[in-house]
Amino acid sequence: MVAPIKLDRTSIDRNPHAVWNAFVEIAHSPPDDLDAVPRVAHHAFRYLGEVNNDGHLQYTENRGT
């Protein structure tokens, strides 16, 4: 399992990109290593990236669905 990412208000105030960076770390983790909620975020991020790149049809063709 991926270690939980802990953010506190102080670290977020010091680095406004901390929340996004934590999300990207989740998105680049192997999905089988994630619990249910972060796994949904992982798949949503991957889907959005591929759709923005090639479109929904290309995404489904790449996945064989």
Q: Do the beta carbons of residue 62 and residue 47 sit within 8 Å?
A: no
Q: Tens digits of per-residue pLDDT, 28-37?
A: 899 999 999 9
Determine the pLDDT at residue 5.
Answer: 80
Q: Tens digits of per-residue pLDDT, 1-59? A: 667 788 999 999 999 999 999 989 988 899 999 999 999 999 999 889 888 988 888 88
Give, in order, the Cα–Cα distances in Å from 20 to each of 26, 62, 63.
10, 27, 26
pLDDT at 65 over 70: no
Specify the long-range contacts of residues 24-33, CB closer than 8 Å, at least 24 apart. 26/2, 29/2, 30/2, 33/1, 33/2
pTM of the predicted structure, to 2 decimals: 0.69
